[in-house]
Every structure is written in C-alpha cells, then in structure tokens.
Structure 1
C-alpha cells in the first residue's frame, strides 16, 4: 500500500517502475539527472514512478522517458527482455567495388573484337548460375563478393555475346544485361552514382539486343535510381515518365510486366519525393499500389521485388523523404517484410530509424538502425542518409549518448 495515497500499488505500475529504475541505473543516471531530461519533472516524481506510486499511462510521457533513457518504448514493457548493449558487430569484409569499377572502365572484350583470346565455348548454364548468384549477393548487400565475381564474369559474358552461336545470342545478351543491372544496383546502394549510371546504360543496350523488352524497362528503372543519387532529378523524371507512359499503353501485361510497371511508378514517386512534390509522389504511390493489388502477391520479376509489401516499404521511404515521420512510423508498424531480401528488410528498418530520428525518438531510432545493421551491415555503414541520421542523434543526445549510438557513429563514420 502507498503511504502517500493509502491505496494499494498496482503490481503493473510497480513492475514498470522497476524497469525504469533498472534502465536508469544501466545508464548510470541518478533520479535527479533523469528527471532533468524530462519536461518539467522532478526527482520526487521520478521516485514515485519507480516505486509504482505514480502511474504513467500517457503515450507522450512514455515516449519522453524512453527517449531520455535512450531506449525504445517497447523496452519499457516489464514483460519484454531486458535490453543489453549489443556485442560489437563482427568486422565485415570491405564493401569496395574497386574490381567492378575497373571492369566497366574500359571495353571488357577487346580480344574478342580482334578474334583473339579465349576461343573455347562458354558454358551458358554456368554463366547463368553465376548471374543468379551475383543478384543474390546484391540483394544481401555483399558488395565485395559481387566485385570479385564480376571481374571474371562480365568479361566472359562480353566475349560470349560475340562468340556464341547465333541462336544463343539473345539468351547471352539477356545474361549480360542482368549482370550489368546487378552492378548498377550494387553501385547505387554503395553510393557510387556515376558507376551505377554507366552500368545501367550498358544494361539497357544489352537488354535491347536480347529482345526482352521488359528487361529494357527494368534497365531504365536502374538508370533512374542512378540519376536520383546523382541529384539529376530532371533527367530522372524524364526517363521514368517516358518509360511509364510507354509501358502503360500495353493492356495485355502479364504479372512480370505489371511488376516492371509498378516498380517504375515507385521510382517516379521517389523522384517526386526528392523534389518535395508531395501530391505527385502520393499519386504515383497510389498507382503502384493499384498495380500491386492487381498482381495480388509479392514477386521478384527482374529482381525488382515488386508487390504489396514493397509498395508499403516505399510508402515509408517516401514519407520520410517528405518529412512525414508520423505517417512513416504508423505504416511501418503494419509491414511484415520477412519474405523479402535482406536489402529490402534493412532498408525498411533504416527508414524507420530515420523517421524516429525526425521525431527525436532517440531510443527507437537507435534500435531500428542497429537492427538494420544486423540485417544489412554493409548498406547501413555506407549509406549517407544513415550517417546523417546518426549524426543528428549523437548531437541530440549530447553527453548522455548511449554507448550503442556512439559505437554506431564510429562504424558509420557519422561524425567525420
């Protein structure tokens, strides 16, 4: 029973208070120091909370306590596992794509043009398996492994399209286009926009020679993302608008074609969001959502991972780009991305971390970014938007920045 009120203390309030006290002590804060981080609270009020005398039922107060402690609001739940600082992540292989850059810096098959070099027949089945493997590595954001593979694979494919039998040439050009698209995606995710542009351009050319029209449009999708990362929004809008207008004229699109069309709508939404064009971005998201509903499932045609889930993920990203953090967080709560690639799952967590950072939710932001790092470490540690979010969080936390955040800042070079 509480001496102050003469009422029995609710066991749930007592358990909540103990959780707050445990987290406070783990952060090496006194009740007075923690109260000072809250808006208009006193050490006496803090003491009553920790003893279960003062219930905390308002969501805004819960969020304020979580932010002051540098944890998520979920961590305040007494039934949740006690949060502990994560072990330092294992070092990951360098994500350099230097070998891949050398491959696209010149013509990969000069010997074949002269009729010299390797004249042995190229086993297309093996090359096809390697292209699939490159895409798997790209979706996992294992860029160093991608670089190692393409240094041999791309020259082999470039030789193959010039030496295989005529009947096999379309298929071989298709493999070459897919390999260049994987490179474009990998370069874009690492932030090398110019190399991504070169790779996407070569992918479009090879796709046209393959006779696979949808593969051409998928290459344009990669090119649009390269333009966006270069900051060339006018070029990006022109390219994606032309592609959407052309493909929309087809009324007989199969699910793969719809996947490409829906992905282009998402790319157009991205362009508008980066330009701050709120209404236009939401219009493109609505069109993409309509296409996804028409397909009715998540697919991975042309390695685009298009479907209802990816549309929802892009909705989160668009909301963050437009500064609508509340919407991003609410939509993010409804998404189950477990069936998608590590890259997509990591991207969702990254954007949710950015959204919480915009709302100054320190603990939730750090938790999302750390989870993103677990899923896709190389992407998180090299992404400019993550660096900016981490830097803002460190400045927000000041001298009370939790160790998890300062370690993340070191791994992302956020303060350099």
Structure 2
C-alpha cells in the first residue's frame, strides 16, 4: 500500500486532511499530495510528525519494506536510484522539502541512530526521501555546512547498502559522499568517509586496497602533540580498519601491530567516543582485537582479548557493534568446541538486535555450524535457525 493510502486509511473517520496537517504541523498541501499520489515521499521529520498526529508507530505508517532477496525490483531499488541520481544530466531536480540546517542535523541523527540499531529495513524506506530533502537543502542554502550534511546522508545510504549486499551502489554512494564533503570545510569528515570506503573494499575482499586506503588517510591526519579528541578518534578508527583488512588478508604481524597502535590512541583518549558516526575508544579496540584474532584463527587469544572489554562497554558500543562482538566470541567458542557457550552467545546476539541478525552472514554461519554438532540440537537453536532462514 502506498504511503498516501496508508495516511488516508489511518486518518479516515478520525480527522480531516486539515485536522491532520494542523496536528502534525505540516502543510495541508503536503497531506493532500501524498494522499493523491502526486508525492510519494516526505522528510523523516514530517513523517514522524504525521505518525505522531495519527497516533501510530512510524513503522506502521511507512509499512513493511521488501528486501532484495524477497523482491529484487522493489524496496532497495528506490535506494539504489536515490544514490545514483542524474539531476545534473537531466537538468531537473526532484521536488523535496528544504530543511533548516538544524532540522537536517536532527534528521541525520535519527538516520544514524536507526543504522546503528541494525534496522536496515526501515532505513531502506527512510533514506530515499531523506536524501531528496538533504539535496533540496543544499540547493536552497548553498552553504559548505549543507554540503557536509548531504554527504553524511549519502554516507548513511552507502553504509546501509553494504549491509544489504549492494556493494556497487554502496561504492557509488560513498564516492558521492566524498565529493560532496569536498565542498565543505571539515577535513575530518573527509577522512572518516575514506575510512568507510576502506570498509566497503574490505567487505568485497579487496583487502590490500582497503588497508592502503585507510593507512594513507591515517598518515595525513596522524596527530602529534596536543590534538582534539575527534582527530584522535578518527585516526584510531582508520588504524582499526587497516588492522581488520590486514587480518583478513592473512598478514597477522601487521594486524597485531596496527591493533597495538590503535590501543595506544584509545588509551590517550581515555574513554569511548562517538565522532563522525563511528565509535572509537577502549571498547572498540577490544572488540576489534577479538575480530582480528578470530580472522587469523587464534581463537583462544580471541577469548583472552574479549576479557579486556571494559565493563561499561554497553555505553561505548552501538547496538549493532555489540551484537557483532557477541558473534565473534561465539565463533571462537564454536571452533574451540565450546558449543553451549557459543549457542548462548548467538541467541543473545539475535535477541539483542533481531533486524540486524537477519542480514549477518557470520551469525548464520556460526548457527549452521552449531546445528551440525550432536550436542547443540536444542529447540531454541533450531528456532533461531528458522528465524534466520538457516538450514
């Protein structure tokens, strides 16, 4: 059911179009065009306001989104089109609501919060209209800050597309984000975006290039003397990405050296931080130490590294990162024959972030391996396998 039809369904018999517009704080023209199908999108802020006025959850208003494996021509196609716009070639711009800079910042905060909660289905619906609004904001203001904000929107889109296994569209989105950030004044944003390109290269098996991109950018912003915490955390994030790429490329010594460097940076910061939509600090270093050891086959050392995780890590890592950390630990336990511990960890990860879990091949792989063990055929594990579509 289209968005406008859903709005009409929830509104019908309860309030008029004008009543809804007044209660939501949006124009009646927007409500009318949505219901008539002359507009198919609205900003995330407007959708939130309309959902609140109708007293329904945002997810019910936008409806379920069908993902690539369910319907290749639906859902994710809109996001692919959104990041590969051809406005500059057609000379036409898609109509969108320009936002104030503060509204754009709030919209991005919500999008990134949704991303780090692992709710990729919802992001697939929210990102296309958000990008339209952010581009309209850039056209309306022409300010460097607006360019930085729309760059962050494309960054969120690229990161989401990676999780949806749309690597080509993700690369387009991230390269577009780098180009847009070039019109701004924030050099650390440009550095962080290159770190995300390195991650995208890592996910498609281009390990040497991933490591090279991350290290080259890290060298450019390497802090010396007194430097700001955002610079330190951005530098540390790049080093961690390079370490992960080195581990996946089989360079154990390089990976260990880079993890040690990132640990020194984290110690210098002294606490977990969230700069440029990325977490970095002692918790992130502990998490990536486990990951590096798992990738190099040192499962006992991976579990030793897990013990270095600060007790307050729940506050230092976003939800998706915490679930990934549990999955890495589960893999280590599984390979060491600790099937019960591994089963508990994969179940906890899925319960913690069910939407994230549906898209994670590693979690599915560990679950599949556990199902093959004669002592791990408990109903709870089989139920998990059914939810993850693991045979």
Task: Specify the SS of the correspondent of 1:396.
Answer: coil
Which of residues 267, 290, 301 in structure 1 aligns to 2:241?
267
Please list the CA deviations of residues 22-64 of structure 1 after superposition, one character each: whole Å capped at 9, or x if unmatched: xxxxxxxxxxxxxxxxxxxxxxxxxxxxxxxxxxxxxxxxxxx
Distance in 2, Cα, partners of 1:201 & 1:410: 37
Change (3 A) 1:209 1:397: farther
Does the aligned pair in 1 maintain the 2:330–2:345 contact within 8 Å? yes
Whether 2:333 is the aligned partner of 1:359: answer: no
Does the aligned pair in 2 maintain the 1:194–1:230 contact within 8 Å? no
Structure 2 equivalent of residue 145 of structure 1: 122
Change (3 A) 1:251 1:286: same
Whether 2:269 is the aligned partner of 1:295: answer: yes
Structure 2 equivalent of residue 230 of structure 1: 204
Distance in 2, Cα, partners of 1:326 & 1:333: 11
Please list the CA deviations of residues 58-108 of structure 1 after superposition, one character each: whole Å capped at 9, or x if unmatched: xxxxxxxxxxxxxxxxxxxxxxxxxxxxxxxxxx96683613223123336
Q: How far off is 1:412 after superposition?
A: 2.1
- TM-score scaled to structure 2, two decimals? 0.76
Task: Specify the SS of the correspondent of 1:345.
Answer: helix
User: For structure 1, which runs of at least 5 residues remain unmatched after alignment?
Assistant: 1-91
Distance in 1, Cα, partners of 2:175 & 2:109: 20
Distance in 1, Cα, partners of 2:305 & 2:209: 30
Does the aligned pair in 1 maintain the 2:65–2:122 contact within 8 Å? no
Task: Indicate the larger mover: 191-200 or 402-411.
Answer: 191-200
Structure 2 equivalent of residue 412 of structure 1: 388
Change (3 A) 1:385 1:128: same
Structure 2 equivalent of residue 344 of structure 1: 321
Q: How far off is 1:125 after superposition?
A: 2.1
Structure 2 equivalent of residue 394 of structure 1: 371
Structure 2 equivalent of residue 201 of structure 1: 175
Whether 2:80 is the aligned partner of 1:101: answer: yes
Structure 1 equivalent of residue 52 of structure 2: none
Structure 1 equivalent of residue 22 of structure 2: none
Distance in 2, Cα, partners of 1:302 & 1:252: 20
Distance in 1, Cα, partners of 2:320 & 2:66: 14
Distance in 2, Cα, partners of 1:287 & 1:95: 42
Q: How far off is 1:351 after superposition?
A: 0.8
Distance in 2, Cα, partners of 1:118 & 1:199: 20
Does the aligned pair in 1 maintain the 2:115–2:160 contact within 8 Å? yes
Change (3 A) 1:146 1:108: farther
Please list the CA deviations of residues 116-138 of structure 1 after superposition, one character each: whole Å capped at 9, or x if unmatched: 66487533322221111000000
Change (3 A) 1:137 1:210: same
Task: Specify the SS of the correspondent of 1:100.
Answer: helix
Which of residues 255, 272, 277 in structure 2 aligns to 1:281?
255
Whether 2:350 is the aligned partner of 1:373: answer: yes
Q: How far off is 1:109 after superposition?
A: 7.3
Distance in 1, Cα, partners of 2:215 & 2:377: 45
Structure 2 equivalent of residue 382 of structure 1: 359
Please list the CA deviations of residues 321-373 of structure 1 after superposition, one character each: whole Å capped at 9, or x if unmatched: 11111122222234232102111211111111111111121111110011111
Whether 2:119 is the aligned partner of 1:124: answer: no
Which of residues 324, 343, 350 in structure 1 aligns to 2:298?
324
Does the aligned pair in 2 maintain the 1:101–1:195 contact within 8 Å? yes
Structure 2 equivalent of residue 220 of structure 1: 194
Greater Rg, structure 1 or structure 2? Answer: 1
Distance in 1, Cα, partners of 2:154 & 2:127: 9
Q: How far off is 1:234 after superposition?
A: 2.6
**Matches for 1:184-199 after TM superposition, within 5 Å:** 184-199=158-173
Change (3 A) 1:108 1:146: farther
Structure 2 equivalent of residue 246 of structure 1: 220
Does the aligned pair in 2 maintain the 1:221–1:267 contact within 8 Å? yes
Structure 1 equivalent of residue 20 of structure 2: none
Structure 2 equivalent of residue 135 of structure 1: 112
Structure 1 equivalent of residue 7 of structure 2: none
User: For structure 2, which runs of at least 5 residues remain unmatched after alignment?
Assistant: 1-62, 68-74
Kindly report the root-mean-square deviation, in angstroms, between the aligned alpha carbons of the 2 structures.
Answer: 2.3
- TM-score scaled to structure 1, two decimals? 0.71
Task: Specify the SS of the correspondent of 1:136.
Answer: helix
Task: Indicate the larger mover: 252-261 or 191-200.
Answer: 191-200
Task: Indicate the larger mover: 346-355 or 185-194.
Answer: 185-194
Please list the CA deviations of residues 194-248 of structure 1 after superposition, one character each: whole Å capped at 9, or x if unmatched: 2322222111111121121000111011111110111112321221121122122
Structure 2 equivalent of residue 314 of structure 1: 288
Structure 1 equivalent of residue 230 of structure 2: 256
